[in-house]
Amino acid sequence: MLKIFHNINVMHIKKNIHDIILGTILNIKGKTNGKMKSHLDLQAAQIRPIRHPVQRGNKPELPPASYALSENQIEVLHKFLKE
């Protein structure tokens, strides 16, 4: 019988945090924590207009986070990590 009823796997927690942070700053589609519903709620409440969805064609898109890296900054980061 196990004496530890709740065991937290630190390795998986660290990996998930790492994935969320990198997904957000690199603006990887599907890997950010921004959800359409929360952005629509901001729009309905008429607050933080910079975070409102933007209509592109016939599908709304979420604007990147203010701390997301630009393409040039991503290239610099990749070059730094490679070296």
Residue 6 has pLDDT above 90, yes or no: no
Cα–Cα dist 76/69, whole Å: 10
Q: In the prediction, which pLDDT does 80 show? A: 93
Segment 46-71 shows an average pLDDT of: 87
Segment 7-30 shows an average pLDDT of: 83
Query: How does the average pLDDT of the chain come out, rounded?
Result: 84
Bridge partner list, 72: none
Q: In the prediction, which pLDDT does 5 show? A: 64
